């Protein structure tokens, strides 16, 4: 008796162990991420209703912040949706996952807002699969949603990215990936997105089927039309072994038409995508006991056209029917029908149905060797660029900052990296060897960093390289001979220990007698001592003489100009180049600005400091300090300077189209610029500001951003000017005390005005006012109105009316895309928020302006035909965005 009981217990325990092992094995290859779950709290854990093992997402993403939904809402969600990861920084944030290349995977992303931020305002954003747009997630009306796709990865790495498209913050709650059967869901091209739900036909209203019943964790929902259908079921086991392996429980019930002579019909509509293509997977099994003379036979129709049949379902065995090519619907309504044949004595039946839409992903991923190389470079220099996530080259408006790529129209040709610009990014160490693996690289810019070591030989062996900029580093040694003979454009100035002459090449070492060496050293020491004494005496005399007639602080200007490459002009040359100061371009607190020419052909603008202007001198000195050390395509460049006694002048490039303010007002016979050009100007001005905030070391704040300080060249390219009030932030801190509030009335950040603390967001506020001017052409300060005197007050009042036409500059004649206009307006008001913490960064401003341009480009193309030129949102990278 005891022996029998022992055997019984052993069998029970063994069966439980085998069952548990089978369950664990059935999750092999599964990725179940609870997004936002802290690593040290319950990770991994077993989800109660399914037994699935969920882990934290912290190991597969390195950006974003974590939060939990409101406690009172937890009961409405399963546990994996209680936490979330949100992304307040960066344009694109990506998960990097290991998958099996070439195998079909079910990918399911789930999103639950749960009012985690207390704002009761769900976000809207885009979801990307690799370099391609998968879906738009909109949680404004619904508290939660999910997206599910069947997709075959083209590499062993899969990136799932959340992309900000407006001012709301993307979030994700759970991410689930399941490898599918090798021969299941094979289609001609593209991927399959689940349309609505996966149905099994049952009158049950609560019995959802998922894992463990479904080995792939597909989720099945009961569906039934009670007035039209009658349910049949069985308690017998139904064989489900085929390529699709649907759960047996989904096959144990079926629907037949209540009127046996009528077809069984399932219909749907797709107003969001009336041109969608569909694949249908219909699962059939005979679950009734038929009499000897009974026959169940039927045809399968899609939109009235037969594509399969006649079919006789097998008794208690699955048959899955799928259309061999994608089907479209006539208009928005789609119809799936089962019609009995003439010889059938029984009506048709259907056990379960899956409907998918086809998604074609047009962009191929960047060449894998280039991706590996650029990531190695990123790791070597420990670059923490928030936007260096996802595919480096695609999509075009999400291309990594500092890269340019060649992108072919042929999807089989992957994009290649052709340009790498890491100038002024604080690089240290040697030139990374991984650069040589970018075999299609044409341009390389590593200037203005702290790189050490020699110039590597491999640069001379890179066949595609035509431009290399290594200036402004601490490189040493000599230029490799192969690089010297390559005939490319090479810049190496500003490396004091790098020798560029032929004499640097190593020659055989010669031994010299000790006496000669000692004598040489002693002689050199005497010469150096005499030279130092001479220079000290000369400096004292110079200080005494120059100190008699220089303006206060002029020695600082002398120090600023010392050892600079900009050309120094004499005062007589300034008089000559301006034709004795004949043509006045403008006037400011510093003095006058005159038109001039250098060498008889190069037009310049000459800013001359008034000798009676103390404040003007301070501004002049600040501008000298900034423009002699910063260079950017959207900042006015310095041609040279004059420093001769009391005469101080700066010579700039001349911009023939004047300033933005003139074009908005139409003064001086200036043209009224159109909406698309205004967006491009706004973007270019923002890029200049971003460079001051991020690219400069230390960062700079302009402090006087206004339409009068945005100048336009002959092609209406924008350049920021007038840096007299600019201030640096030593050490890169976010803000510093400003002893004097400076700026222009109406453009001044109110927070800065009240607190005296200057920050980069002060420029953002001023830029927001500029953008409002560009949109509305209203005065910044309206002295005729007491209630709505400031432009933000006027716009706020107009927004309540809800009509963009009443807000936009009437000179535009309604020639603009409404969505583009609204987005620009929302961005401007966000920049001009009284609270600096609620303003976007200039990097975020740039990305949002690019989105405005993407919205505007299709309208330009449609209105002007093939001759139209869409705006280039990547500027110097020569990339034109495609409409999404």
Tell me if 566 sits within 8 A of 537, measured CB to CB: no
CA distance 117 to 460: 54
Tell me the average pLDDT across 346-375: 95
Give DSSP secondary structure letters for 685-714.
HHHHHHIIIIISSS-EE-S---GGGEEE-T
Phi first, then psi: give them for residue 512, nearest 5 degrees.
-120, 145
Tell me the average pLDDT across 508-532: 49
Give DSSP secondary structure letters for 359-392.
E---PPPP-HHHHHHHHHHHHHTT---TT--S-S
CATH topology of domain 561-654: Phosphorylase Kinase; domain 1 (3.30.200)
Using pLDDT thresholds of 50, 70 and 90, give the confidence band for residue 668.
low
Tell me if 255 sits within 8 A of 349, measured CB to CB: yes
Q: What is the 3 state secondary structure string of 227-264?
A: CCEEEEECCCCCECCCCCCCCHHHHCEEEEECCCCCCE
Of 3-12, 156-165, 353-362, 432-441, the least confident: 3-12
Instruction: Give pLDDT, residue 614.
Output: 52
Q: Which parts are annotated binding residues?
A: 607
Contacts of 539 (CB under 8 A, 6+ apart): none
Using pLDDT thresholds of 50, 70 and 90, give the confidence band for residue 867.
very low
Tell me the average pLDDT across 450-469: 94
Tell me the average pLDDT across 564-569: 64
Contacts of 372 (CB under 8 A, 6+ apart): 437
Phi first, then psi: give them for residue 137, nearest 5 degrees.
-100, 125
Closest CA to 590 of 561, 628, 619, 557: 619
Q: Which parts are annotated binding residues for ATP?
A: 607
- Residue 626 carries which DSSP code? H
Classify strands 450-451 and 428-429 as parallel, antiparallel or unpaired: parallel
Q: Is 786 helix (H, G, I), strand (E, B) or coil?
A: coil
Using pLDDT thresholds of 50, 70 and 90, give the confidence band for residue 336.
very high
Of 149-158, 284-293, 650-659, the least confident: 650-659
Tell me the average pLDDT across 716-721: 92
H-helix or E-strand spanning residue 618: helix 614-627
- Residue 294 carries which DSSP code? -
Q: Is 523 helix (H, G, I), strand (E, B) or coil?
A: helix
- Inform me whether the pLDDT recorded for 8 exceeds 60: no
- Percentage, residues of the chain above pLDDT 70: 82
Closest CA to 435 of 368, 369, 371, 374: 374
Tell me the average pLDDT across 561-567: 49
Tell me the average pLDDT across 736-761: 74
CA distance 839 to 246: 51
- Inform me whether the pLDDT recorded for 543 exceeds 90: no
Tell me the average pLDDT across 522-536: 53
Tell me the average pLDDT across 221-230: 95
Instruction: Give pLDDT, residue 818.
Output: 87
Write down the mean pLDDT value for the chain: 84
Q: Is 536 helix (H, G, I), strand (E, B) or coil?
A: helix
Tell me the average pLDDT across 261-266: 96
Closest CA to 871 of 535, 410, 396: 396
Q: Is 280 helix (H, G, I), strand (E, B) or coil?
A: strand
CATH superfamily of this structure's domain 368-503: Ribonuclease Inhibitor (3.80.10.10)
**Domain limits of the chain?**
24-180, 193-359, 368-503, 561-654, 669-706+733-877
CATH superfamily of this structure's domain 669-706+733-877: Transferase(Phosphotransferase) domain 1 (1.10.510.10)
Ramachandran bin of 590, using left for φ above 0, alpha for ψ from -120 to 50, beta for the remaining angles: alpha
Contacts of 580 (CB under 8 A, 6+ apart): none
CA distance 498 to 446: 15
Give DSSP secondary structure letters for 539-575.
HHHHHHHHTTTSPTTHHHHHHHHTT--SEEE-HHHHH
Tell me the average pLDDT across 259-288: 94
Classify strands 416-421 and 403-406 as parallel, antiparallel or unpaired: antiparallel
Give DSSP secondary structure letters for 144-165.
EEEEEEEE--SSSEEEEEEEE-
| pLDDT tens, residue by residue, 753-797 | 777 677 789 999 999 999 999 999 999 998 776 667 899 999 988
396 vs 871, higher pLDDT: 396
Using pLDDT thresholds of 50, 70 and 90, give the confidence band for residue 667.
low
Ramachandran bin of 830, using left for φ above 0, alpha for ψ from -120 to 50, beta for the remaining angles: alpha
| pLDDT tens, residue by residue, 309-323 | 999 999 999 999 999
Tell me the average pLDDT across 819-843: 91
Instruction: Give pLDDT, residue 696.
Output: 80
CA distance 637 to 594: 16
Using pLDDT thresholds of 50, 70 and 90, give the confidence band for residue 568.
confident
Please tell me if the domain spanning 193-359 has the same topology as the one spanning 561-654.
no
Contacts of 749 (CB under 8 A, 6+ apart): 743, 761, 762, 765, 766, 836
Instruction: Give pLDDT, residue 434.
Output: 96
H-helix or E-strand spanning residue 333: strand 333-340
Annotated catalytic residues are 704
H-helix or E-strand spanning residue 177: strand 174-179
Pick the CATH number of 193-359 from 3.30.360, 2.60.120, 1.10.600, 1.20.144: 2.60.120
The string over 234-264, giving b where at least 16 C-beta atoms fall within 10 Å of a residue's C-beta and e elsewhere, is beeebebeeebbbbbbbbbbbbbbeeeeebb
Instruction: Give pLDDT, residue 746.
Output: 87
What CA–CA distances, in Å, run from 525 to 86, 302, 497, 519, 530? 66, 98, 22, 10, 9
Sign of CA dihedral 377, 876, 440, 631: negative
Instruction: Give pLDDT, residue 632.
Output: 85
Q: What is the 3 state secondary structure string of 418-479?
A: EEEECCCCCCEECCCHHHHHCCCCCEEECCCCEECCCCCHHHHHCCCCCEEECCCCCCEEEC
Give pairs for 71-76: CB < 8 Å, separation 24+.
Answer: 73/114, 73/115, 73/143
Pick the CATH number of 24-180 from 2.40.30.20, 3.30.428.10, 3.40.1050.10, 2.60.120.260: 2.60.120.260
648 vs 210, higher pLDDT: 210
Contacts of 197 (CB under 8 A, 6+ apart): 219, 221, 223
- Percentage, residues of the chain above pLDDT 90: 56
CA distance 739 to 757: 9
Instruction: Give pLDDT, residue 278.
Output: 96
Tell me the average pLDDT across 815-836: 91
Q: How many residues does the chain have?
A: 884
- Inform me whether the pLDDT recorded for 188 exceeds 70: yes
Closest CA to 623 of 500, 728, 729: 728
**pTM (predicted TM-score):** 0.60
Instruction: Give pLDDT, residue 15.
Output: 47
Q: What share of the chain is helix, strand, coil (3-state, %, to 5)?
A: 30, 25, 45
The string over 819-849, giving b where at least 16 C-beta atoms fall within 10 Å of a residue's C-beta and e elsewhere, is ebbbbbbebbbbbbbeebeebbebbbbbbbb
- Inform me whether the pLDDT recorded for 280 exceeds 90: yes
Q: How many CA atoms lie within 13 A of 828 on its CB side?
A: 27
Tell me the average pLDDT across 413-419: 95
Using pLDDT thresholds of 50, 70 and 90, give the confidence band for residue 301.
very high
């Amino acid at each position: 008796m005891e022996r029998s009981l022992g055997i019984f217990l052993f069998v029970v325990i063994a069966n439980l162990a085998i069952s548990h092992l089978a369950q664990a094995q059935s999750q092999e290859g599964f990725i179940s991420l609870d997004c936002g779950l802290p690593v040290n709290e319950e990770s991994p854990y077993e989800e109660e209703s399914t037994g699935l093992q969920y882990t934290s997402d912290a190991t597969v993403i390195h950006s974003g912040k974590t939060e939990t939904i409101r406690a009172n809402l937890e009961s409405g969600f399963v546990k994996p949706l209680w936490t979330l990861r949100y992304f307040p920084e960066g344009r694109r944030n990506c998960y990097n996952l290991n998958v099996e290349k070439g195998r079909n995977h079910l990918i399911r992303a789930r999103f639950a807002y749960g009012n985690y931020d207390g704002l009761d305002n769900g976000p809207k954003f885009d979801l990307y699969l690799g370099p391609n747009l998968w879906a738009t997630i909109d949680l404004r009306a619904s508290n939660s949603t999910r997206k599910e796709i069947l997709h075959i990865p083209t590499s062993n790495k899969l990136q799932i990215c959340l992309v900000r498209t407006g001012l709301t913050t993307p979030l994700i709650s759970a991410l689930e990936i399941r490898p599918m059967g090798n021969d299941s869901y094979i289609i001609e091209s593209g991927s399959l997105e689940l349309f609505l739900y996966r149905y099994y036909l049952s009158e049950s209203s609560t019995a959802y089927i998922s894992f463990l019943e479904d080995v792939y964790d597909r989720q099945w929902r009961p569906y039934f039309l009670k007035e039209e259908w009658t349910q049949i079921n069985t308690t017998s086991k139904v064989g489900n072994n085929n390529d699709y392996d649907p759960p047996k429980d989904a096959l144990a019930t079926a629907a037949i038409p209540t009127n046996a002579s009528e077809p069984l019909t399932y219909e749907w509509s797709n107003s969001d995508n009336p041109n969608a293509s569909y694949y249908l997977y219909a699962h059939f099994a005979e679950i009734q006991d038929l009499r000897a003379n009974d026959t169940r036979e039927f045809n399968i129709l899609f939109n009235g056209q037969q594509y399969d049949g006649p079919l006789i379902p097998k008794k208690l065995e699955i048959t899955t029917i799928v259309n061999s090519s994608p089907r479209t619907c006539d208009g928005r309504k789609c119809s799936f029908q089962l019609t009995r044949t003439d010889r059938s004595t029984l009506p048709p039946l259907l056990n379960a149905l899956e409907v998918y839409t086809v998604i074609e992903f047009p962009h191929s991923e960047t060449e894998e060797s280039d991706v590996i190389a650029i990531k190695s470079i990123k790791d070597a220099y420990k670059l923490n660029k928030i936007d260096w996530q996802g595919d480096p080259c695609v999509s075009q408006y999400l291309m990594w900052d500092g890269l340019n790529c060649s992108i072919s129209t042929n999807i089989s040709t992957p994009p290649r990296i052709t340009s790498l610009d890491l100038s002024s990014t604080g690089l240290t160490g040697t030139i990374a060897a991984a650069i040589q693996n970018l075999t299609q690289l044409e341009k390389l810019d590593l200037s203005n960093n702290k790189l050490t070591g020699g110039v590597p030989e491999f640069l001379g062996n890179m066949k595609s390289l035509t431009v290399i900029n290594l200036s402004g580093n601490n490189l040493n040694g000599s230029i490799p001979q192969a690089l010297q003979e390559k005939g490319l454009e090479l810049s190496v100035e500003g490396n004091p220990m790098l020798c560029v002459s032929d004499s640097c090449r190593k020659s055989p070492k010669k031994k010299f007698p000790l006496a000669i060496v000692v004598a040489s050293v002693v002689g050199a020491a005497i010469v150096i001592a005499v030279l130092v004494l001479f220079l000290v005496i000369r400096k004292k005399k110079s200080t005494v003489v120059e100190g008699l007639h220089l303006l206060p602080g002029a020695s600082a200007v002398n120090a600023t100009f010392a050892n600079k490459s900009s050309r120094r002009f004499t005062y007589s040359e300034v008089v000559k180049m301006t034709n004795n100061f004949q043509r006045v371009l403008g006037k400011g607190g510093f003095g006058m600005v005159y038109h001039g020419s250098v060498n008889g052909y190069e037009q310049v603008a000459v800013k001359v400091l008034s000798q009676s202007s103390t404040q003007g001198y301070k501004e002049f000195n600040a501008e000298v300090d900034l423009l002699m050390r910063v260079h950017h395509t959207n900042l006015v460049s310095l041609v040279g300077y004059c420093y001769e006694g009391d005469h101080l002048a700066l010579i700039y490039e001349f911009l023939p189209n004047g300033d933005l303010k003139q074009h908005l007002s139409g003064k001086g016979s200036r043209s009224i610029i159109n909406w698309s050009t205004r967006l491009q100007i706004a973007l270019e001005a923002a890029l200049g500001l971003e460079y001051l905030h991020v690219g400069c070391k230390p960062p700079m704040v302009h402090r006087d951003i206004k339409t009068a300080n945005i100048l336009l060249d002959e092609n209406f390219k924008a350049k920021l000017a007038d840096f007299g009030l600019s201030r640096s932030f030593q050490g890169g801190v976010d803000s510093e005390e400003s002893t004097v509030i400076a700026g222009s009335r109406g453009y001044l950040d109110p927070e800065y005005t009240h607190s005296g603390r200057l920050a980069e967001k002060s420029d953002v506020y001023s830029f927001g006012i500029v953008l409002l001017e560009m949109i509305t052409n209203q005065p910044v300060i309206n002295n005729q109105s007491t209630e709505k005197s400031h432009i933000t007050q006027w716009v706020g009042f107009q927004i309540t009316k809800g009509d963009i036409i009443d807000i936009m500059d009437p000179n535009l004649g309604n020639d603009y895309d409404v969505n583009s206009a609204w987005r620009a307006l929302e961005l401007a008001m966000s920049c001009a928020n009284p609270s600096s913490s609620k303003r976007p960064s200039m990097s975020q401003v740039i990305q949002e302006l690019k989105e405005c341009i993407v919205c505007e480009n299709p309208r330009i193309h449609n209105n002007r035909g093939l001759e139209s030129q869409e705006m280039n949102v990547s500027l110097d990278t020569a990339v034109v965005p495609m409409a999404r």
